[in-house]
Amino acid sequence: MAAEARSFTRIGVVGGGAWGTALALAALRAGRDTLLWAREPAVVEAIRRDRENRDYLPGVPLPAGLAVTSDLADLAGCDALLLVTPAQHLRPACAALAPHLKPGAPTVICAKGIEIDTQALMHEAVEAALPAGTPLAILSGPTFAAEVARGLPTAVTLACRDAAIGTALVEALGSRTFRPYLTDDVVGAQIGGAVKNVLAIACGVVEGRKFGDNARAALITRGLAEITRLALRLGARPETLMGLSGLGDLTLTCSSLQSRNMSLGAALGQGRTLDEVLGERRSVAEGVWTARAVVALAARLGVEMPICAAVDAILNRGASVDETIQGLLARPFREEAV
């Protein structure tokens, strides 16, 4: 079927966590037949029985019209798939999905991260695992899963290099309260969504140490400069970083303890260890893994990212929180535009 004639009536969502469940509800509200795939059969059974994802999105009723499965083969009839597995598991998840993918069905990458081992962006990992020529898109932006699940107004970026497919996806997923804005800047949309998780951990440390709103605002602003430097080096457009998947997502994630990454940073700032915090959680704070990947990528490209490097040092290299903060504060003064 020609791309311009497509209408995606059946949507599959790959990933039964909070964000996957919320996106399944968004697709259902947009009038699509929606199938949610979850890896754990126990989660699927609980959703069927209770019409609630109590493990990952408690308190949100799931309509009877939302189908759920733990069998990837059931996704074979879907016109488009939303990929919502954790970033570090996206490549193997796509490899398992590949035999069941409907020919020509686009995949919309909703995971935010950079692969640790390869420093690949999510679209590069997916392209390596799915059949050649599979249409790809990126969905990113300022989104808390619980708010999307409850139908509160939300705007996102949908990035797709094929304008006809991108437009069809916007029409398939968009509704009064879930509003995708289309761009073709696939790289910019991904860098904003990935790096903001690392910066949110830094802002959480500021919150935990009670350094005040001035310090948090400074981190957000200088963090945006780091995102922009890396994105431009990879060929993104600067206006993308000023949009929903850049500034919008950064502002949300760095301003509320609803953010998994900011709340993790706050716990570290209060003196808790990373192992303690992660041991209490089922949900994934992507910034923990993205910190190491983005610092390695930046080093390879010759891009300076001191805030991200500081977060990586605390998370992955045993650096003291206080000494790392002092190191940032002791950096030489410089022109703001650099």
HEC assignment per residue over 164-176: HHHHHHHHHHCCC
The model carries a pTM of 0.94
- Give the domain CATH number at 151: 3.40.50.720
Residue 334 counted as domain residue: no
Of the candidates 23, 41, 305, 315, the one whose C-alpha atom is nearest the C-alpha of residue 180 is: 23
pLDDT band of 338, cuts 50, 70, 90 = low
Is the pLDDT assigned to residue 317 strictly greater than 70?
Answer: yes
Amino acid in the structure at residue 97? L
- In this structure, are 194 and 149 located in the same domain? no
d(CA 108, CA 131): 15
- In this structure, are 253 and 132 located in the same domain? no
Residue 115's φ and ψ, nearest 5 degrees, are -65, 135
Is the pLDDT assigned to residue 1 strictly greater than 60?
Answer: no
- In this structure, are 202 and 302 located in the same domain? yes
Q: What is the b/e burial string over 262-300, where b = at least 16 CB atoms within 10 angstroms of the residue's CB? A: bbbbbbbbeeeebeebeeeeeebbbbbbbbbbbbbbbee
Task: Render pLDDT for 111-146 as a digit per residue (tens, 0 to 9).
Answer: 999 999 999 999 999 999 999 999 999 999 999 999
Is the pLDDT assigned to residue 162 strictly greater than 80?
Answer: yes
Give the sign of the dihedral formed by CA 285, CA 147, CA 247, CA 186: positive
Give the mean model confidence (pLDDT) for residues 305-309: 97
CA distances from 191 to 185, 221, 231, 251 (A): 10, 16, 6, 15
Residue 216 counted as domain residue: yes
Is the pLDDT assigned to residue 2 strictly greater than 90?
Answer: no
- The residues that bridge with 12 in the sheet, in sequence order, are 35, 81
Label residue 182 exposed, middle or buried (CB < 10 Å: 0-12, 13-18, 19+): middle
d(CA 164, CA 157): 16
The number of domains in the chain is: 2
Give the mean model confidence (pLDDT) for residues 271-276: 94
Residue 82 counted as domain residue: yes
**Of 159, 184, 209, which residue is a domain's last?**
184
The pLDDT score that the predictor gives to residue 94 is 98
- In this structure, are 212 and 151 located in the same domain? no
Is the pLDDT assigned to residue 337 strictly greater than 80?
Answer: no
d(CA 246, CA 254): 12
Q: Which residue has the higher pLDDT, 269 or 280?
A: 269
- In this structure, are 204 and 267 located in the same domain? yes
Residue 252 counted as domain residue: yes
Amino acid in the structure at residue 166? G
- Give the domain CATH number at 273: 1.10.1040.10
Task: Render pLDDT for 92-103 as a digit per residue (tens, 0 to 9).
Answer: 999 999 999 999
Give the number of residues written for the chain. Answer: 338
Residue-range definition of the domain harbouring residue 258: 187-329
> Are β-strands 52-53 and 57-61 bridged in parallel, bridged antiparallel, or unpaired?
antiparallel
Give the mean model confidence (pLDDT) for residues 145-173: 97
Residue 94 counted as domain residue: yes
Is the pLDDT assigned to residue 294 strictly greater than 80?
Answer: yes
Residue 102 among the catalytic residues: no
Q: Which residue has the higher pLDDT, 233 or 335?
A: 233
d(CA 290, CA 192): 12
pLDDT band of 285, cuts 50, 70, 90 = confident
- In this structure, are 265 and 314 located in the same domain? yes
Residue of 102, 112, 196, 210 marked catalytic: 196
d(CA 256, CA 258): 5
Give the mean model confidence (pLDDT) for residues 182-202: 97
Give the mean model confidence (pLDDT) for residues 185-200: 97
* Contact by Cβ (8 Å): 245, 157: yes
Task: Render pLDDT for 214-255 as a digit per residue (tens, 0 to 9).
Answer: 999 999 999 999 999 999 999 999 999 999 999 999 999 999
Q: What percentage of the chain has pLDDT greater than the value 90?
A: 93
- In this structure, are 159 and 21 located in the same domain? yes
